Amino acid sequence: MSVTFSTLKTQVQNTAENDDSEFTDAIPDFIGRSERRLSRDLDHPELTSHLEATLAAGDPFLTKPNNILLTKNLYVFNDSSIIKLLLKTEEFIADYWPTRTSTGVPKYYANYGGTEYIVAPAPASTNKAEIAVVVQPATLSASNETNFFTNKCFDALFYACMVEATCFMKNYSTTPLWEQKYVTAIQSLQNEGRRTRRDDEQFPASPAGPNTLLGGP
């Protein structure tokens, strides 16, 4: 039997042994919260998308993609090389690159407000870029019966739903049991993700030379 939004609702209801309408009406909310929890907790390569962008010459700003949960990496293609920019704070960027008119090969980036990134220094020429982001799978519903979570990590999704369900019913004595099942399932999925993730999608600390750029390229 394929796992769908409908079968998940039925499984939660049957496991909780609760036919009360208030409970059954709340099950879609349990599922939605569990999806959001999985999106936050799960670092899996199949949740990562690689999106193309363009950095204009002299412009340090890059618009963020829509509907992303997390930016994992930002790459700049400079001539024949690929540069992985290092994530820093806005304050670091301001200290490192105080002369905003200077340009060069970008080395760092920071989140700038809610809709942009800023790179430092600004590129001396127009460069292609690639943004690795974590995206939220389409939310499960009656009109969208399956997604990444039902297809790839149903156990973790179900356990998270049961944490929500037992809290809703104030059956707190069983909540830790479902929580432990959820944690174990997440750990297994994380291990699977580590085995399949490319080395260049890791997050090692990487020194990048001097921390001050006073002017010039």
* The pLDDT of residue 116 is above 50: yes
Does 112 share its domain with 150?
no
Report the number of distinct structural domains present in the chain.
2
Regarding beta strands 81-84 and 68-78, do their DSSP bridges make them parallel or antiparallel, or are they unpaired? Answer: antiparallel
**What pTM was estimated for this model as a whole?**
0.70
Does 67 share its domain with 39?
no
Does residue 205 sit within a domain? no
**Is there a contact between 104 and 127 (Cβ–Cβ < 8 Å)?**
no
Average pLDDT score, the chain: 89
pLDDT of 80 reads 81
DSSP 3-state assignment of 164? helix
* The pLDDT of residue 217 is above 50: no
Does residue 142 sit within a domain? yes
pLDDT digits (tens, 9 = 90+) for 17-67: 999 999 999 999 999 999 999 988 988 888 889 999 999 999 999 999 988
Does 91 share its domain with 119?
yes
Domain around 173: 5-44+137-199
List of E strands, 56-164: 61-63, 68-78, 81-84, 86-87, 103-104, 108-112, 116-120, 122-123, 127-135
